[in-house]
Structure 1
């Protein structure tokens, strides 16, 4: 896949009205569907299911935070000219709202990952957070990602019915891999004593993981990285670390480490040693160099980091 980057968003939304996204009649390896995906997780999924019949452009590369990513003019143009635009929804891509509305008005074919899930499957924010009705970090539930995989295959089949069997076969093969991932997660988590299953991170991105695999998850910032942690938040969480004898916390690849560093210092001032146990991938995949450029690799890397940090 390739990552699209460009200048700041200016008149891009207006330009949607002037752009076309006509699709050729026959889709093939030589004439693939042009798919634009917002996050790296979604780009990976669309490439996995679409295979040789799609050309995927990802707007946000490794380490990019989707909560405050501002779409550029080139991003808007890419979406307006795409056969399919795939995005997360639930206000994860908060600065894209106006663009998404314009795409809908123009009838651009969109695949919204959150539409695969029922409201009862979505987690409410731990606290009131502006603009967020539900926790948008749905990819950290492997079960939800399985549901989303099947949904994305159905949507691709709707757009390109001649290749339905191909998309469904790719999805079925990927579901097997997701099942293997789940087994790996469950086996590795057994190495962590139950009383040590606390995941303290820079922002509150891992609640779906905690719900599915029985971890208590605490984020220093809220669900949205634009919500800053104050000294009171850091002090309160430092007390929580002391009270629960938590000795390891984690930074994130798409969030500044400064608040976690302040948390470690605050715990130390209380006579409680806490270490930075490693970096987790939260709102974006890693790079090929990090061996975390796919959803499967990213999740395994996270589990290894979590278990290695907490099992000692």
Structure 2
């Protein structure tokens, strides 16, 4: 394919960019604005980001107030260029309402593969609208990718089913795992709220220490894109009351792993999270994950 025929796409998150690569194949080039370890809740566009998006054939962002600091920019850009908020197309009946803001929803839909597959469908629609001549190729690629996502969802269900019911409590840095919890029967407790811009005060830490001690929860999880300061305070607070809590692992919440690694793909990201959670909470699953490709299993 000639370079002039390749669709130039900019995506905000790594998860969206990975979907573009899988659906678009050789017909697209894609740049993700937010790399590993980057928190999208507080991210602001840089000068180079603005240049890339104003030159791109298509810009894909998540929506649902995930990129809260960039929404006005996308509204303005949409008047000049092709811009699509891919998660906004989801049926609202599938979304979890925001606990603090009426009319807003939890944006972390990628935590449930069966919901993310509908976002992939919207990515395919946006690519097809930009390049209708590639419609058949995009449709075939999207169908193949959705089969992989279905297999991922099946693996996740089987892995977490081995976690004893009494230990299905997921304590994380911020409330990014509610869709995971709903899909797989976990109680999810985040120190911070849905957005990492919310603050966790001393009262919140004290409340959660009580939860850990009273319910004898022995493992909590840090996140690659969120500071572990509050989690360390939680562990120290429990220790001061004679209850040992360990870090069960580091989870990918708002960003994927390093580019070029298995964990740097959407499927690898979720495989890592599911496997890490299941193993830390008592399930006998392989450290290599769904296909043996996780770095912890090598």
The correspondence of residues 181-220 of structure 1 with structure 2, limited to 5 A, is 181-220=152-191
| Deviation readout 1:71-121 (Å, 9 max, x if unpaired) | 101101111111100010011111111210111222x21221222212211
CA RMSD after TM alignment: 1.6
Q: 1:28 to 1:121 in 2, by over 3 A?
A: farther
SS at match of 1:279: strand
Q: 1:132 to 1:69 in 2, by over 3 A?
A: farther
1:67 pairs with one of 28, 35, 41: 41
TM-score, normalization by structure 1: 0.87
Q: Where does structure 2 lack aligned partners over 5 or more consecutive residues?
A: 284-298
The correspondence of residues 22-171 of structure 1 with structure 2, limited to 5 A, is 31-106=5-80, 108-126=81-99, 128=100, 133-171=104-142
What is the alpha-carbon distance in structure 2 between the residues aligned to residue 67 and residue 284 of structure 1?
11
**Runs of 4+ with deviation above 3 angstroms:** 27-30, 288-291
Q: Structure 1 residue 283 and structure 2 residue 254: aligned?
A: yes
What is the alpha-carbon distance in structure 2 between the residues aligned to residue 111 and residue 70 of structure 1?
18
Moved more, 286-295 or 93-102: 286-295
SS at match of 2:5: coil
| 8 Å contact kept, 2:114–2:150 | no
Q: 1:132 to 1:63 in 2, by over 3 A?
A: farther
What is the alpha-carbon distance in structure 1 between the residues aligned to residue 83 and residue 193 of structure 2?
28
TM-score, normalization by structure 2: 0.91
1:234 pairs with one of 195, 205, 216: 205
| Deviation readout 1:15-54 (Å, 9 max, x if unpaired) | xxxxxxxxxxxx8566310000001111111111011000
Q: Where does structure 1 lack aligned partners over 5 or more consecutive residues?
A: 1-26
What is the alpha-carbon distance in structure 2 between the residues aligned to residue 91 and residue 234 of structure 1?
26
